[in-house]
């Protein structure tokens, strides 16, 4: 197992903070990957990691992903993440999150936290009692509230960019979209799609969610595993990661993949190029699902829902530049997305006269 410094050097992380508070029982790690463009923003995950090594690996990987996500979303933010080692069902307390908040405060704004898997808006409200460097607070308290409608809107405009590029069409009317997962994002995406006249084929493991969408948007319902085999123009994964894999690649008959789920490609370096070979235009997940991040980032300057939606419309142009670069350089779209993000970070580093002491800190991004 590499030492902490070796792990940090591998992907050019700036700072790692180990937080230990016996009083509250807090054991957490905060990782700041890169603050070239701005303070590092990223959620706080709570998970019962079996080893400290697992927790460190996860937080370093996630923090780096946030650097790219913020850069591609045209935000003035860097990438960071935090993990609290513990069981989110049994180990939560006011003291724990206030203690975490004090560690965040100690970083004086270099890291801004938010909710993530295993943490909630309520937990972040405890964090806010100790620091103002927290986002994802409820709208009642002046925060940005549920980001999902904004994320869904971003996926919708990103899908339109993909349709323009792959099919030369301005509208989604008449196209068939297969939506997997009808939760917070999937439901709102269906709403946008139905409004524009797209035909919907949907699935979910939750029968209630299915019934609601089927009735409200006249969607056709299929069993969860059947979604990969339906006749569709667009596959929109909005549930799980890694649904683009060896099995589904042989089944998907679509022109476009555009959805909200994180880490859609099981193995980027394998399945990214294979999609391109099959002539399927893939909208890179972290570029198309950036609306949620844009939404919380807005909280930093004083939240304005209208501005968050407006900024999210930029996902159309971003995706178009990714698709064009992928075509010009004959590379998979996920590689083009990384290059677009790196170009922005490098240009802004030059503008700010920041000397990047690393060879090329942004290269070799992966989700592993």
Give contact residues for ligand NAD (rule: CB under 6 A). 147-148, 151, 180-186, 203-206, 209, 224, 238-240, 260-262, 289, 292
* Nearest distance from C-beta of residue 289 to ligand NAD, angstroms: 4
Closest approach of ligand NAD to the CB of residue 82, in Å: 17
Residue 283 tokens read as 């909208």
CB 21 within 8 A of CB 104: no
Quote the least distance from Cβ 206 to ligand NAD, whole Å.
4
Closest contact distance (angstroms) between CB of 263 and ligand NAD is: 8
Count the alpha carbons within 13 Å of 244 in the hemisphere toward its beta carbon.
33
Q: Which is nearer to ligand NAD, 131 or 312 (CB)?
A: 312
- Choose between 111 and 187: whose C-beta lies nearer to ligand NAD: 187
Instruction: Report the C-alpha gap between 315 and 75 in whole angstroms.
Output: 12
Angle (CA) 352 356 357, round 5°: 150
Which of 238, 248, 259 is CA-nearest to residue 162? 259
- Give the C-alpha distances (Å, rounded to integers) separating 274 from 235, 247, 332, 363: 16, 12, 9, 21
80 vs 181 by CB, closer to ligand NAD:
181
**DSSP H/E element including 46:** strand 44-47
Backbone φ and ψ for 52, nearest 5 degrees, come out as -65, -35
CB of 33 to ligand NAD, least distance (A): 18
Under 8 Å between Cβ of 204 and 226:
no
By beta carbon distance, the residue nearest ligand NAD is 183
DSSP secondary structure string for all residues of 281-349 = EE--HHHHTTHHHHHHHHHHT---HHHHHHHHTTHHHHHHHHHHHHHHHT--HHHHHHHHHHHHHHHHH
Q: Which of 70, 107 has the CB closer to ligand NAD?
A: 70
Work out whether the CA dihedral 106, 122, 14, 73 comes out positive or negative. Answer: negative
**Parallel, antiparallel, or unpaired: how do β-strands 78-85 and 44-47 relate?**
parallel
Pick 155 or 326: Cβ nearer ligand NAD = 155
Known catalytic membership, residue 81:
yes
Question: How far apart, in whole angstroms, are the C-alpha atoms of residue 298 and residue 135?
Answer: 9
Catalytic one of 10, 27, 69, 81: 81
First to last CA, the chain: 16
Which residue(s) pair with 282 in the sheet?
257
Q: Which is nearer to ligand NAD, 74 or 180 (CB)?
A: 180
Q: Answer whether 144's CB lies under 8 Å from 136's CB.
A: yes
* Cβ nearer to ligand NAD, comparing 120 with 343: 120
Q: How far is the CB of 150 from ligand NAD (least distance, A)?
A: 7
Residues that are catalytic: 81
């Amino acid at each position: 197992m590499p030492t902490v410094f070796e792990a940090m050097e591998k992907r050019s992380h700036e700072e790692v903070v180990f937080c230990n508070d016996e009083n509250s029982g807090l054991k957490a790690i905060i990782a700041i990957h890169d603050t070239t463009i701005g303070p590092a923003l990223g959620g706080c995950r709570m998970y019962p990691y079996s080893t400290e090594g697992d927790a460190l690996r996860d937080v370093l990987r996630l923090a780096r992903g946030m650097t790219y996500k913020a850069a591609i979303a045209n935000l003035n933010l860097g990438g960071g993440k935090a993990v609290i080692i513990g069981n989110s069902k049994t180990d939560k307390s006011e003291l724990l999150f206030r203690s975490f908040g004090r560690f965040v405060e100690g970083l004086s704004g270099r890291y801004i936290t938010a909710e993530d898997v295993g943490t909630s808006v309520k937990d972040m409200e405890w964090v806010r009692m100790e620091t103002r460097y927290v986002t994802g607070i409820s709208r009642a308290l002046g925060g940005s509230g549920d980001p999902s409608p904004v994320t869904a809107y971003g996926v919708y405009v990103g899908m339109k960019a993909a349709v323009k590029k792959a099919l030369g069409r301005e509208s989604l009317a008449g196209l068939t979209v297969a939506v997997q997962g009808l939760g917070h994002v999937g439901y709102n995406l269906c709403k946008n799609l139905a409004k524009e006249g797209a035909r919907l084929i949907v699935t979910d493991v939750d029968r209630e969610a299915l019934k609601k969408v089927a009735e409200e948007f006249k969607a056709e319902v299929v069993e969860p595993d059947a979604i990969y085999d339906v006749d569709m123009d667009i596959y929109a994964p909005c549930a799980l990661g890694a649904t683009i894999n060896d099995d589904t690649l042989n089944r998907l008959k679509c022109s476009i993949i555009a959805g909200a789920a994180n880490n859609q490609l099981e193995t980027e370096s394998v399945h990214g190029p294979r999609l391109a070979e099959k002539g399927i235009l893939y909208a890179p997940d972290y570029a198309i699902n950036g609306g949620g991040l844009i939404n919380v980032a807005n909280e930093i300057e004083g939240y304005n829902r209208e501005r968050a939606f407006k900024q999210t419309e930029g996902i159309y142009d971003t995706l178009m530049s990714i698709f064009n670069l992928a075509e010009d350089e004959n590379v998979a779209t996920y590689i083009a997305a990384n290059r677009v993000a790196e170009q922005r970070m490098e240009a802004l580093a030059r503008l700010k006269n920041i000397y990047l002491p690393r060879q090329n800190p942004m290269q070799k991004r992966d989700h592993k």
